[in-house]
Amino acid sequence: MKTLHVNLSDRGYPIWVGEGLLADAGALLARRGFSLAPVVIANRTIMRLHGETLMRSLQRAFGRTEIIRIGDGERFKTHATLLQIYREMFRAHADRRSWILAFGGGVVGDIAGFAAATFMRGIPFVMAPTTLLAQVDSSIGGKVGINVAEGKNLIGAFHQPAAVLSDTGVLKTLPKRELASGLYEVIKCGAIRSERLLRYLEKKLPEILSCRAAELQHIILAAARIKADVVASDEREGGLRMILNFGHTAGHAFEAATGYRKFKHGEGVAWGMIAALAYGRELGLMNTRDSARLVRLIRSVGRLPSINAISVDTLWESFIRDKKFQSGDIRMIFLRRPGEAEIHTGVDASSLRRFLKKFLASGGNLI
Q: Which residues bind a second copy (CB under 8 A)?
A: 79, 83, 86, 90, 95-97, 117-122, 143, 145, 148, 150, 153-158, 323, 326-327
Pick 146 or 295: Cβ nearer a second copy: 146
Pick 48 or 97: Cβ nearer a second copy: 97
Pick 319 or 355: Cβ nearer a second copy: 319
R_g of the chain, CA atoms, integer Å:
20
The nearest distance, CB 156 to a second copy, in angstroms, is: 5
Q: Which H or E run includes 182?
A: helix 176-193
Distance CA 195, CA 200 (A): 9
Pick 91 or 296: Cβ nearer a second copy: 91
Query: How far is CA 111 from each of CA 67, 79, 97, 209, 354, rounded to the nearest angstrom?
Result: 15, 9, 19, 29, 38
Query: How far is CA 267 from each of CA 72, 262, 363, rounded to the nearest angstrom?
Result: 19, 9, 15
Catalytic site includes residue 172: no
Question: Which of the following is catalytic: 64, 121, 236, 303?
Answer: 121
Pick 118 or 217: Cβ nearer a second copy: 118
The nearest distance, CB 90 to a second copy, in angstroms, is: 4
The nearest distance, CB 266 to a second copy, in angstroms, is: 22
Catalytic site includes residue 248: yes
The nearest distance, CB 149 to a second copy, in angstroms, is: 8
The nearest distance, CB 202 to a second copy, in angstroms, is: 35
| Pairing of β 332-337 and β 340-344 | antiparallel
Catalytic site includes residue 185: yes
Catalytic site includes residue 121: yes
Q: Which H or E run includes 302?
A: none
In the chain, the amino acid numbered 63 is G
Question: Which of the following is catalytic: 69, 218, 227, 281?
Answer: 227
Cβ proximity of 234 and 241 under 8 Å: yes
- ∠ CA 137-38-89 to the nearest 5 degrees? 100
Catalytic site includes residue 56: no
Question: Which of the following is catalytic: 50, 77, 188, 265?
Answer: 265
| Strand-pair partners of 146 | 155
Question: Which of the following is catalytic: 69, 143, 152, 193?
Answer: 143
Helix (H, G, I), strand (E, B) or coil at 288: helix
Catalytic site includes residue 43: no
Distance CA 221, CA 211 (A): 15
Question: Which of the following is catalytic: 50, 88, 193, 245?
Answer: 245
Catalytic site includes residue 237: yes
Residues recognised as catalytic = 121, 143, 185, 227, 237, 241, 245, 248, 252, 265
